[in-house]
């Protein structure tokens, strides 16, 4: 009789990326335990309490591709609850609206509610017999070589220990697992706060003549109020509201001290948004909601031998301006699973062979993924300038039209950067390389035209 060997994985962090990782490893036959510091968000009346970063999520091709893999119907369920956005709607001076499509072939970015998506992943994982989720468990210590983790259970104050074959840190930008990894690993680490903060606001639904709720604006666009040094965006929700996010320098936020200051600021810069939000609603939300910081984190390596690895924001936190944070994290899970397959990690019952193959897989994953993660972190930083300022400049508009025309004529040979990042599975680093090469072609063609 053949002995069954069950591998164990402890996932620290029960957010979106951690729960998708749990589903993937459960499908591989591993025994999965997820430890989440926060309470179960499904039991909270105010789901905004589940995170200080409740910016709406943009789900694109990379994220959808990762959701297809487990074969549990996640992809279909998610697509049933998204709102497709076909482009950016710019809100310019005097109420002018200008639509910029995302692509020439009708490509769409999907707006999805963070809490709704997390609930789906939690519910799916809980239905799997080999998954256990423990909430209110805060990681205190990791002994990576022995595979021992120690947690504090905040529900009763007890200490909990767990021994595992693999530790996965999916515990976000302020990752405890990453901090613990810095002891045995010579980790290069870079953290940069940007001088801008964000504040969430809301545009409620409106009621039509028949008493039915409807959207106050076109729901199939990402709405942007670009104001050069700052901006506001709005993404649609399934309840017919819009989640708005105001991005601007800290000193601008600090200068708004009273309701009169706030209304003067909005009347000057976003006058068309006031009737959409409602003046009283705007005042209440602005002064109630936090002004959150934003940062970018890059580090390497991601793993310690075959014992531990970090994924998602724990490995590469990016500012939210390319809409790739979650998509990149989901792609981490997809690629990590591929590397485990490539190195036949689950094909042996011998412990030494298992550890050797797992070590090779994690090392290869880190080498491959860091280049791409660093590339998208840099692109996200760059895209903030584009969204708040460049989108209204004539040269930007002309360049976008030329790129779109070339892509329509040569769809496989000339692909705009945004299309490669958001509507393909091309490696982020490869997308940057091709974008720079295409820019060189355009420069040469322009110079040749001037010479004629």
Is 51 inside a domain boundary?
A: yes
Read off the pLDDT band of 272 (50, 70, 90). Answer: very high
Look at the block and give the residue holding tokens 């969204």: 387
Q: Which residue has the higher pLDDT, 382 or 452?
A: 382
Q: Would you state the pLDDT for residue 446? A: 60
Mean local confidence (pLDDT), 4-15: 94
**Residue 188 confidence (pLDDT):** 97
Q: Can you give the pLDDT at residue 222?
A: 96
* pLDDT score at 397: 81
pLDDT tops 70 at residue 234: yes
Reported confidence tier of residue 394, pLDDT bands at 50, 70, 90: confident
Are 191 and 295 spatial neighbours (Cβ–Cβ below 8 Å)? yes
Domain's final residue, options 276, 293, 310:
293
Residue 375 lies in a domain: yes
Average pLDDT over residues 401-418: 91
Cα–Cα dist 246/233, whole Å:
7
3-state secondary structure of 319: coil
pLDDT higher than 60, residue 308: yes
49 pLDDT band (50/70/90 cuts)?
very low
d(CA 137, CA 151): 6
Query: Are 151 and 282 in a shared domain?
Result: no
Per DSSP bridges, beta strands 308-310 and 166-169 are parallel
126 shares a domain with 255: no
Residue 1, in any domain of the structure: no
Residue 184 shares a structural domain with residue 240: no
Asked whether residue 59 is domain-assigned, the answer is: yes
Inter-residue contact 296 to 320 (CB < 8 Å) = no
Together in a domain, 71 and 158:
yes
Stretch 298-304: mean pLDDT: 98
**DSSP 8-state secondary structure symbol assigned to residue 4:** P
Which pLDDT value is given to residue 391?
Answer: 78
Question: Do 149 and 177 have their domain in common?
Answer: yes
Asked which of 363, 387, 411 is the last residue of a domain, the reply is: 387
Q: Which of the pair, 63 or 49, is modelled with greater confidence?
A: 63
The answer to the question of residue 299 being in a domain is yes
Please tell me whether residues 224 and 350 are part of one structural domain. Answer: no
Q: What is the pLDDT of residue 445?
A: 62
Note whether 187 and 198 are same-domain residues.
no
| Nearest residue to 112 (alpha-carbon basis) of 76, 144, 84 | 84
Which has more pLDDT, 361 or 52?
A: 361
pLDDT at 46: 58
Final residue belonging to a domain, choices 387, 403, 437: 387
Domain count, the chain: 3
d(CA 136, CA 200): 26
pLDDT at 129: 96
| 8 Å CB contact between 192 and 201 | no
Residue 94 lies in a domain: no
Give domain status of residue 105, yes or no: no
- In the predicted model, what is the mean pLDDT of the chain? 93
For residue 166, give every residue at least 6 positions away whose Cβ sits within 8 Å of its Cβ, in sequence order, or none. Answer: 7, 8, 9, 10, 147, 306, 307, 308, 309, 358
Query: 444: domain range?
Result: 393-451
Residues 347-351, mean pLDDT to the nearest whole number: 87
Length of the chain: 452
Residues 163 and 75 both lie in one domain? yes
Clarify whether residues 41 and 169 are in a common domain: yes
Q: How confident is the model at residue 452 (pLDDT cuts 50, 70, 90)?
A: very low
pLDDT at 195 over 60: yes
Residues 57, 122 share a domain: yes
Q: Is the dihedral of CA 64, 65, 66, 72 positive or negative?
A: positive
Neighbours of 314 (CB within 10 A): 30
Coil, helix or strand for 326?
Answer: helix
Contacts 24+ apart (CB under 8 A), 139-143: 139/12, 139/35, 139/37, 139/171, 139/176, 139/177, 139/180, 141/180, 142/167, 142/177, 142/180, 142/181, 142/308
Q: What is the mean pLDDT of residues 150-177?
A: 97
pLDDT of residue 377: 97
Query: Is 178 in the same domain as 302?
Result: yes
In a domain, 93, yes or no: no
Average of pLDDT values for 46-59? 62
50 has a pLDDT exceeding 50? no
Taking each helix axis from N to C end, the angle separating 259-269 and 279-288, rounded to the nearest 10 degrees, works out to: 120
Instruction: Read off the pLDDT band of 450 (50, 70, 90).
Output: low
Q: Say whether pLDDT at 332 is over 70.
A: yes
pLDDT > 70? residue 120 = yes
| Spatial distance between the Cα atoms of 338 and 99, rounded to a whole number of angstroms | 39
Q: What is the DSSP string of 165-191?
A: SEEEE---TT-HHHHHHTTTS--EEEE
Quote the percentage of the chain above a pLDDT of 90.
Answer: 83
309 and 338 assigned to the same domain: yes
The C-alpha atoms of residue 447 and residue 397 are separated, in whole angstroms, by 19
pLDDT of residue 362: 98
pTM over 0.85: yes
> CATH number for the domain including 181?
3.50.50.60
pLDDT digits (tens, 9 = 90+) for 21-30: 999 999 999 9
Q: Reduced to 3 states, what is the DSSP secondary structure of residue 44?
A: coil
- Alpha helices by DSSP H, listed for 274-319, are 274-277, 279-288
User: What's the pLDDT band for 73 if we cut at 50, 70, 90?
Assistant: confident
């Amino acid at each position: 009789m053949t002995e069954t060997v069950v591998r164990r994985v402890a996932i620290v962090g029960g957010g979106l990326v951690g729960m998708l990782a749990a589903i993937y490893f459960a499908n591989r036959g591993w025994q999965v335990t997820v430890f989440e510091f926060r309470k179960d968000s499904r039991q909270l009346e105010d789901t905004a309490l589940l995170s200080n970063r409740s910016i709406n999520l943009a789900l694109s091709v990379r994220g959808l591709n990762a959701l297809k893999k487990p074969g549990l119907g996640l992809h279909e369920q998610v697509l049933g609850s998204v709102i497709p956005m076909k482009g950016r709607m710019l809100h310019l001076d005097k109420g002018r609206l200008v639509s910029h499509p995302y692509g020439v072939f009708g490509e769409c970015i999907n707006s999805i509610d963070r809490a709704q998506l997390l609930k789906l992943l939690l519910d799916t994982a809980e239905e799997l017999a080999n998954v256990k989720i423990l909430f209110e468990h805060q990681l205190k210590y990791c002994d990576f070589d022995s595979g021992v983790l120690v947690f504090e259970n905040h529900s009763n104050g007890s200490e909990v220990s767990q021994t595992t074959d693999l530790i996965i840190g999916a515990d976000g930008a302020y990752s405890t697992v990453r901090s613990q990894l810095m002891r045995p690993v010579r980790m290069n680490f870079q953290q940069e706060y940007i001088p801008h903060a964000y504040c969430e606001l809301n545009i409620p639904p409106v009621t039509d003549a028949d008493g039915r709720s409807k959207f106050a604006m076109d729901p199939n666009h990402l709405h942007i109020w670009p104001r050069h040094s700052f901006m506001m965006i709005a993404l649609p929700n399934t309840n017919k509201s819009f989640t708005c996010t105001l991005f601007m320098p800290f000193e601008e936020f600090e200068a708004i001290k009273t309701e009169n200051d706030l209304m003067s600021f909005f009347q000057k810069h976003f006058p068309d948004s006031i009737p959409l939000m409602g003046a009283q609603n705007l005042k209440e939300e602005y002064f109630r909601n936090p002004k959150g910081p934003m940062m970018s984190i890059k580090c390497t390596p991601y793993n310690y031998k075959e014992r531990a690895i970090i994924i998602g924001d724990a490995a590469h936190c990016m500012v939210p301006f390319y809409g790739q944070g979650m998509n990149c994290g989901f792609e981490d899970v997809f690629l990590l699973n591929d590397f485990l397959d490539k190195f036949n990690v689950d094909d042996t019952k011998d412990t030494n062979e298992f550890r050797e193959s797992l070590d090779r897989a994690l090392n290869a994953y880190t080498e491959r993924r860091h280049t791409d993660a660093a590339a998208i972190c840099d692109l996200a930083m760059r895209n903030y300038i584009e969204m708040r300022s460049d989108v209204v400049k004539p040269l930007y508009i002309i360049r976008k039209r030329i790129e779109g025309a070339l892509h329509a004529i040569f769809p496989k040979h000339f692909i705009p950067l945004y299309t490669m990042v958001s509507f393909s599975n091309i490696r982020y680093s490869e997308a940057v390389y091709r974008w720079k090469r295409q820019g060189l072609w355009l420069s040469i063609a322009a110079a040749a035209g001037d010479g004629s």
